[in-house]
Structure 1
Amino acid sequence: MKEHLPYKISHLYLHESLASPTLDSSTHGHYLVFWWRSVALAHFFIEPGQEVTEEQYYQKLVAVLEPSLLFYGAKPAANWARFVVERDVTTLSAFMNPLFEAFIPSSVPAKLPVSVVICTRNRARQLDQCIRMLQQLTCLPAEIVVIDNAPSDASSCEVVARFPDVTYVKEPRAGLDIARNTGVAAANYPIVAFVDDDVLVDPLWIYQVYQTFQNPEINAMTGLVIASELETEAQEIFEKHWSFNRGYTDVLYDTSFFTKHLFHGPPVWEMGAGANMAFRKSVFEKVGLFDEILDAGAAGCNGDSEMWYRILSHGFGVHYNPRAIVYHEHRRELGNLKKQIYAYMRGFTVAALLQQDQVPKANYKRRFYKYLPKHYLRLTIRGFPRYRSRNLTLWAEMKGIVAGFFYYRRNKQFSTALRHKQPEPGRLLKTA
């Protein structure tokens, strides 16, 4: 069996240097992430054993930077590419700084009225690391709430006890969306942000979350998720084929997006990841809480995307803001990855069928009966006989889809009541 080689993740800050990094790929690959100050702009992979000349490096760099720079206001015929290739940081800075002036704050408040909710279960190490990072941000949340979801030990409670300013809530019923709903009820501030316990957050994360909601049309947001390590084959497969990274340019999802895709079912799973999302607390009063038959402990996954779907179907906007950044620790073991992908596809199936129940014109059945069979037949043929890399999870995916159909048929009658469940009435929100 061929030995798997890891990838080294390097964050390169172009305002500091345009020199090409050392790209020895004999013992590992490279995953390069490019920044302009606090704004992530692009990334690319260099595979283990792949030789990249300096000229090829700068060609790749210019190509991946272009979409972001066009979004931030650069003109197609601008000279920035020449400044990059010539490694002229001074001239490039004079070009770039005005583009990013509105997006890079010169100063930020010490604290903002945002509640951060962490749903966790028996993961003391990750939880401790996540809380410590949240308490060291440049801009702090007004509160941190930990929801301990059906724990089998006291490890999470013991971790939170070390942080006097963090609120601990034990939720005895198993299920991620049950925990999320408990977090919504416990939150005291008008913006509720969720992070997974296995993420680290960027120093300006809270500031960027809060800024997103200064647009009154926005009722939910998602943000950029960057891999924190790519040491194992499972982590590589996930990042290359199932990544939470949705790109480096803003996307506004609104009614036009929703109606445009009704013919084959709006692809709400493309909007972001539950590892980095936030909501106006008031939106739950309008659209209901998370559907508790989805996600961990139930259907498998997709409670987050089903909620985005419901928000869009009610005519509200969702903003993907790539300047709100977290770093995610992917599962290291192939067995755990396959379980994760099985849960994703099971939850995807249940959520899509529930979404079609809500809006019958959302033709998700077209995806199941027309697109997906062709898709998996093509992957099965292409992967034969060795089924490596992307194809290692094919069987888990197909089993997840079938399991999702059966789960939906058994449980769909419980979903409507759960979707219309409201937050606790009369709860006074703090604003500062």
Structure 2
Amino acid sequence: MSYFFPYQITHVYLNQQLTLPALTYHRQGNYLVFWWKETAVGHLYIEPEQTLSEEQYYSALSMAITPTIRHFANKKHTNSDSWQTWLAQRDNARLATWMDSIFPTPPTLPKQVPVSVIICTRNRATLLRRCLLMLRMLACMPREIIVVDNAPIDEASQKVTQDFEEVIYVVEPHLGLDRARNTGVKTARFPVVAFVDDDVVVHPFLVYRVWETFQESSVAAMTGLVIAMSLETEAQFIFEQYWSFNRGYINKMYTPDYVRVVNKQAPPVWEIGAGANMAFRKSIFEEIGYFDELLDVGAAGCSGDSELWHRILIRGHSIEYNPWAIVYHEHRRDATALKRQLFYYMRGHAAAALIQQEYNPQAGYEQYLYKILPKYYFDLAKTDFPHFRYRSRTLWAEMKGLVSGIAFYYRNRKGAPKPSR
């Protein structure tokens, strides 16, 4: 029998509290997310039944946030050695002055920015209502919000949108997330389009941070930080440990060199971010085409976002990962749902890799699919046999998805149209 204790998520604002927060350790773990004002700077797992002394906490806190602190200090050309001493000495005043010097002061936000927010939804009216209510409370509003109702079975989502006069409601009658995304882009009237999943909670600064990112003219697309909303079940914990959408707390710029330099090693474009928090310059779709609908739910399964990122890079554009643009995601709660999710992840992943090989024949995606991934799964199965706990609990679903995705590609890609412009 598998015993799992939940993890309590606690957000610790270091500008308000440097001391060890009050935590429960018995029969639960703790997951701490550290912030300096509106900037997330790191996280820390504390295992169930593991208690920390004050000294142990400060040591673990320092290790968790050092990469982010060092990155921003270097950008400001500031000596980054003293802050750990101030932290250890609980010298709040000197630490606060220095931290404020390396992290930007939260801006005075405009009321609106020229961004179109697109929410693709299907038969989840309750979640859609929550999402729209949260968007209404943003510190900076988008110029338009578009709800794309994907092959709905009833009018529940449409009725929700009728309570929000600012929302544009569109039906995409054909099933598929990428179809819905493409409909949203074609409906949008503003130069930046941001996608928000109907099951996420958005940070109040999200839309402003999206708009701010595109003030750099070289940026064609962006992704943002995705923080887990809860880790109450084993399935959620497995996902966050091994499949997390969290790409860290440091800005990263992905240039065309990202695919050129590692071409023969299969450029891991899936590491750029998550579709739950992404945005694009609308004009990029006119240049390189829209989301590939062969990778849709009901078709290959997913990875339309990472395949599009690959196309953007090989056409000479850049993508920024901006961790100041933040959403919170609710992971699948039960093992059955997680296994189904990961089956389609790997099915779409395999099909997308082969499509990327088409666009970029020098890339090593075929070797990645036929040699590297099989060896990885063989080694994982060999190591975890016969118990298959934690990481390997979803092993067979992933392997079946991988085989299914390769088969799907060869059955369907020949003669299929490439993404339309």
TM-score, normalising length from structure 1?
0.95
Code of the residue aligned with 1:200 in structure 2: it is: V
Q: Distance in 2 between matches of 1:195 and 1:132?
A: 13
State the SS of the aligned residue for 1:348.
helix
State the SS of the aligned residue for 1:108.
coil
The residue that corresponds to 2:82 in the other structure is: 79
Deviation (angstroms), 1:77: 5.2
Deviation (angstroms), 1:193: 0.2
Deviation (angstroms), 1:4: 2.0
Query: What does residue range 9-24 of structure 1 map to in structure 2 within 5 Å?
Result: 9-24=9-24
The residue that corresponds to 2:100 in the other structure is: 97
Deviation (angstroms), 1:24: 2.8
Contact in 2 for aligned 1:120/1:148 (Cα 8 Å): yes
The residue that corresponds to 1:384 in the other structure is: 385
Identity %, equivalent residues:
51
Question: More deviation in 277-286 or 154-163?
Answer: 154-163
Deviation (angstroms), 1:265: 1.3
State the SS of the aligned residue for 2:323.
strand
Contact in 2 for aligned 1:113/1:142 (Cα 8 Å): yes
The residue that corresponds to 2:32 in the other structure is: 32
Code of the residue aligned with 1:21 in structure 2: it is: P
Q: Distance in 1 between matches of 2:97 and 2:166?
A: 43
Code of the residue aligned with 1:98 in structure 2: it is: S
The residue that corresponds to 1:206 in the other structure is: 207
Q: Distance in 2 between matches of 1:371 and 1:54?
A: 44
Q: Distance in 2 between matches of 1:57 and 1:23?
A: 12
Q: Distance in 2 between matches of 1:217 and 1:283?
A: 11
Q: What are the superposed Cα offsets for residues 153-194 of structure 1, whole Å, 9 maximum, x if unpaired?
A: 221111111111111101110000000000001111100000
Code of the residue aligned with 2:92 in structure 1: it is: V
- Flag as ranges the 4+ runs of structure 1 deviating above 3 A: 74-77
Deviation (angstroms), 1:76: 6.5
Code of the residue aligned with 2:396 in structure 1: it is: W
The residue that corresponds to 1:216 in the other structure is: 217
Q: Structure 2: 5+ residue runs without aligned partners?
A: none
Are 1:57 and 2:60 an aligned pair? no
State the SS of the aligned residue for 1:293.
helix
Q: Would you say how many aligned residue pairs link Structure 1 and Structure 2?
A: 418
Q: Distance in 1 between matches of 2:187 and 2:345?
A: 27
RMSD after superposition? 1.2
The residue that corresponds to 1:299 in the other structure is: 300
Q: Distance in 2 between matches of 1:132 and 1:280?
A: 25
- Cα distance, 1:187–1:35 mapped onto 2, change above 3 Å: same
The residue that corresponds to 2:338 in the other structure is: 337
State the SS of the aligned residue for 2:271.
helix
Q: Distance in 2 between matches of 1:153 and 1:382?
A: 48
Q: Distance in 1 between matches of 2:43 and 2:80?
A: 22
The residue that corresponds to 2:144 in the other structure is: 143
Contact in 2 for aligned 1:292/1:418 (Cα 8 Å): no
The residue that corresponds to 1:110 in the other structure is: 111
Q: Distance in 1 between matches of 2:394 and 2:296?
A: 19
Code of the residue aligned with 2:257 in structure 1: it is: S
TM-score, normalising length from structure 2?
0.97
Q: Distance in 2 between matches of 1:76 and 1:410?
A: 58
The residue that corresponds to 1:273 in the other structure is: 274
Contact in 1 for aligned 2:182/2:290 (Cα 8 Å): yes
- Cα distance, 1:105–1:23 mapped onto 2, change above 3 Å: closer
Query: What does residue range 126-205 of structure 1 map to in structure 2 within 5 Å?
Result: 126-205=127-206
